[in-house]
Amino acid sequence: MKTTNILVVGIGGQGVMTASEILSEAAISQGFEVKKTEVAGMSQRGGVVSSHVRFGPRVLSPEIAPGEAEILVGFEAAEAMRWCHYLRPKGVAMVNQLRLTPPIVSLGLFDYPDDPVAAIRARGVETHDFDAGAIARELGDLRLVNTIMLGAISDHLPFSAETLKNCIIARFRARKPAMAELNAKAFDLGKAAAKV
């Protein structure tokens, strides 16, 4: 079995690092060796955040090379577009439609793309986009976006969606029991949104 490469990107405070931790925990629970690396650029101030998650029978390096990721999880549309060259030819981009203007755009140093999702599709990438924030708002908690995004990629992993879902539920049962059921619902809605 080969190594699975997942790149998770977004803006500080969106739960990028938490999502990659949960993915790693789920892979470890299935007996995979896991390597993970994270880059947080001024994440407390809305800076960009990326996390590379690699797992398989044996993983030597935590970094994903451009053109090697099976899955790109974009918590913010322009960040997904910026990193889409990391996907392999048959890779999948799962993109939250959220558009956040980073400080570099506010300062006039960079133009925000007109349609980041269309730009990803134009590269021939299988792209699934939906408004994870709207789903989270319906559930009453914006922090659920990362669980929604994990639900969205769950059918593209080399282990069952239930494995990932159970890992999320167990994590919340241990820390915030009241949130376990809400996260289970968020996971299911994310999984459904990715199929539309």
Mean pLDDT value of segment 146-162:
97
**63 within 8 A of 52, measured Cβ to Cβ:** yes
Mean pLDDT rounded to a whole number for the chain = 91
**CB burial class (10 A; 0-12, 13-18, 19+) of residue 120?**
buried
pLDDT, tens digit, for every residue of 31-82? 999 999 987 665 455 677 899 999 999 998 999 999 999 999 999 999 999 9
pLDDT at 42: 54
How many alpha carbons lie under 13 Å from residue 161 in its C-beta half-sphere? 18
CA distance 81 to 60: 27
The domain spans of the chain are 4-193
15-53 residues labelled b (16+ CB within 10 A) or e (exposed): bbbbbbbbbbebbeeeebebbbebeeeebeebbbbbbbb
CA distance 179 to 109: 40
Domain 4-193, second-level architecture:
3-Layer(aba) Sandwich (3.40)
Lowest mean pLDDT among 106-110, 138-142, 147-151: 106-110
Query: What DSSP element (H or E) covers 17?
Result: helix 16-29
Written as one string, the DSSP assignment of 71-140 is EEEESSHHHHHHHGGGEEEEEEEEEE------HHHHTTSSPPPS-HHHHHHHTT-EEEEE-HHHHHHHHT
Q: Which of the 8 DSSP states describes residue 166?
A: H
